[in-house]
Structure 1
Amino acid sequence: MISHLKARLAATAVTLMIVLHPGASHAQAASGTAQASVETTMPRISVRTVGPVQKVAKGTPVILIPGLSSPRAVWDGVVPTLAKTHQVYVVQVNGFGGDDPRANLSPGILDGIVADLHTLITQSKLGKPAIVGHSMGGLVALMLAKTHPDVVGKLMIVDSLPYIGEIFAPGATVAALEPQAKAMRAGMAAAYGKPANVAANEALAARMALKPASRTTVADWAAKADARVSAQAMYEDLTTDLRPAMASIAAPITLVYPWNTVGPTKPAADALYRKAYATAPHVTFVDIGDAAHFVMLDQPVAFQAALDDFLRP
């Protein structure tokens, strides 16, 4: 098992770096005179708040969490529409998007993000907001629901697993993956301060998105995150296993996952995600075809429809 797992990891390590390593760009504020944008910086994250200027009836507050190394621009396609009726809190991890790493040059990034989100929710008196997380952001959303169930309304998890080791080998454990996770962390961190490998970024983006425009965007992002923060956050992602906690997460979960003809195909994707979330008490599965990991870029209309359904009272 261990030797087989090492072989799988060696074959997929570079791919994983881009799964967890799109880079950075600043999201644009939602357009229109009826909306306002304010940005707040915390130890582990910054949060851009966008929503109606006037105190009018609006939907549940929504927090959007991008994946590892991803900029908040991942959500640019949905923020303007959401911000017409919701107060939207668009997260970016410090060190991504060209931001100052701040506290994220120290370990404890994922726990720190959870702590900052808890502070945001309680200090801003958001009640129980809807949380949307992509990739590593989905893992963070699950961590928040596990640790602070009193501040979470419902979750939309976008192409994320309770334990990412499952993509390497069914039943993989943290102990089995940790040596490889450490090696990958060292390799990624060593890229800090060096010129981006454009060809490699383009090749890796091709694995994470299907549409040409999506691939161009992801490749552009891939070079821009602080490699030191990406490396540590990836290590923490690889060594965080929430499978034992899934049965205790009471918040309703909408699990959005992609499939395509190259892979994963629909039968393979169905099997993977339904097994991973089998013990969670309240899960709605939403599959989006002709899409890869960056489903919101590949299929923006279908993703917006899934988000609208998720937020409907």
Structure 2
Amino acid sequence: MKMVLAMYYAMKAAARLAMIGMAMAVLGSGSAHAAAAVPTAAGTGKVQVEVLGKGRPVLMIPGLNSSAEVWRETCRALKDVQCHLVQLPGFAGARAADPRPADFLSAMRDELLAYVQDRRLEKPAVIGHSLGGVLALQMAVKAPAAVGPLVIVDSLPFYAAIQNPQATAQSVQPMAEQMRTGMLAADAASYRAQADAALAGMTTDPARLPELQRWGRDSDRATTADAMYSLLVTDLRSEVAGIRSPTRVLGAWAAYQAFGATEASTRAIFQAQYAALPGVEIAMSAAGHHFLMWDDPQWLRGQVQTFLDSHR
């Protein structure tokens, strides 16, 4: 387990990106919104959604092992929106899917698209962080006419290519399977210690760490392992060419400044991975780490509000 995690985090550090990992994580103030509806399929091991406010529908997807709470502050700060806060099964205490889906990401993508259709949401904007960003991209790839503007927060179409741009989904499959096997086989103490340690560099606010750690401990280990495996073998670099939604990507780089990263070098990684996405806009936070909604909230909210206002 330790070797597998060390290999994965070395890959992240080498790429100077504070992205996803075994980091049990992912995750925003203003006028309050009143709750309009609460979880669909609550307690069933399916995607749950809480609806807040009135206005333009915005689907907000958290990332690996995160609670839907991660987006609540951001939601409250946005104007004229109806937030649909997504809770993915198996994360942060939500019941895991049973049976486990053959592929976590594609199963979650299909549930989210079904939710959009069932609720008759007209081209909702979709905001996704980390793993949630990949899900947002997948939704727009599979059903380009069903979703509106996309805001992708610190996420890439193919994480395995951070280290090696020549990597393919097939070539990284053995490493991804090794990592999943190691995660499932680790004893509880080792698993918890590695997960807790991995979170330290994900946010600039140490007061947030206990919550992140609690979400990780409350997450179903098999779901986390399946989600990470699915993420590592998913390559959307060419598929994003079929997306028709206006897209703004918000990136983070400051966490790896000590390793020699610059805004320009990190932006270049994002530009290379999103090269096929028509009209994509890429903006980089000057200060935030992976959890931009906590570390650089005013910047993130301004980016989101301006983008949504310009694409109605």
Query: TM-score category by the smaller chain?
Result: 0.7 to 0.9
Residue 212 of structure 2 is aligned to residue 218 of structure 1: yes
Equivalent residues in 2 for 1:46-65, closer than 5 Å? 46-52=48-54, 58=55, 60-65=56-61
Residue 269 of structure 2 is aligned to residue 302 of structure 1: no
Residue 264 of structure 2 is aligned to residue 270 of structure 1: no
Residue 100 of structure 2 is aligned to residue 100 of structure 1: no
Report the equivalent of 2:40: 40
Please give the secondary structure, in 2, of the residue aligned with 1:151.
coil
Report the equivalent of 1:227: 221
Contact 1:24 1:96 in 2 (8 A): no
Contact 1:20 1:136 in 2 (8 A): no
Equivalent residues in 2 for 1:57-206, closer than 5 Å? 58=55, 60-82=56-78, 85-103=80-98, 105-191=100-186, 194-195=188-189, 199-206=193-200
Please give the secondary structure, in 2, of the residue aligned with 1:105.
coil
Aligned-partner Cα distance in 1 for 2:168–2:97:
31
Aligned-partner Cα distance in 1 for 2:32–2:101:
39
2:302 partner amino acid: A
Cα shift at 1:258: 1.0
Cα shift at 1:274: 1.1
- Cα separation, partners in 2 of 1:104 and 1:285, compared to 1, 3 Å: farther
Higher relative contact order (CA 8 A, sep 6+): 2
Alignment deviations for residues 36-71 of structure 1 (CA, whole Å, 9 cap, x no partner):
34111275311111114xxxxx2x200001112222
- Which structure 2 residue ranges, 5 or more long, are not aligned? 1-5
TM score, norm. by length of structure 1? 0.85
Report the equivalent of 1:4: none
Contact 1:18 1:205 in 2 (8 A): no
Contact 1:71 1:92 in 2 (8 A): yes
Report the equivalent of 1:290: 287
Alignment deviations for residues 84-103 of structure 1 (CA, whole Å, 9 cap, x no partner):
62211111111112111124
1:106 partner amino acid: P
Contact 2:158 2:236 in 1 (8 A): yes
1:246 partner amino acid: V
Cα shift at 1:245: 1.0
Match of residue 256, structure 1, among 225, 236, 250? 250
Aligned-partner Cα distance in 2 for 1:100–1:38:
16
2:47 partner amino acid: I
What is the CA RMSD across the aligned residues, in angstroms? 3.0
TM score, norm. by length of structure 2? 0.85
Cα shift at 1:76: 2.4
Alignment deviations for residues 147-172 of structure 1 (CA, whole Å, 9 cap, x no partner):
01111111111111111112121221
Report the equivalent of 2:241: 247
1:135 partner amino acid: S
Aligned-partner Cα distance in 1 for 2:104–2:70:
20
- Cα separation, partners in 2 of 1:47 and 1:196, compared to 1, 3 Å: farther
- Cα separation, partners in 2 of 1:274 and 1:24, compared to 1, 3 Å: closer
- More deviation in 207-216 or 254-263? 207-216
Question: How many residues are treated as equivalent by the alignment?
Answer: 297
- Which structure 1 residue ranges, 5 or more long, are not aligned? 1-6, 53-57
Cα shift at 1:8: 5.7
Aligned-partner Cα distance in 2 for 1:95–1:206:
22
Please give the secondary structure, in 2, of the residue aligned with 1:87.
strand
Cα shift at 1:197: 5.6
Please give the secondary structure, in 1, of the residue aligned with 2:73.
coil
- Cα separation, partners in 2 of 1:184 and 1:8, compared to 1, 3 Å: closer
Aligned-partner Cα distance in 2 for 1:129–1:33:
18
- More deviation in 65-74 or 249-258? 65-74
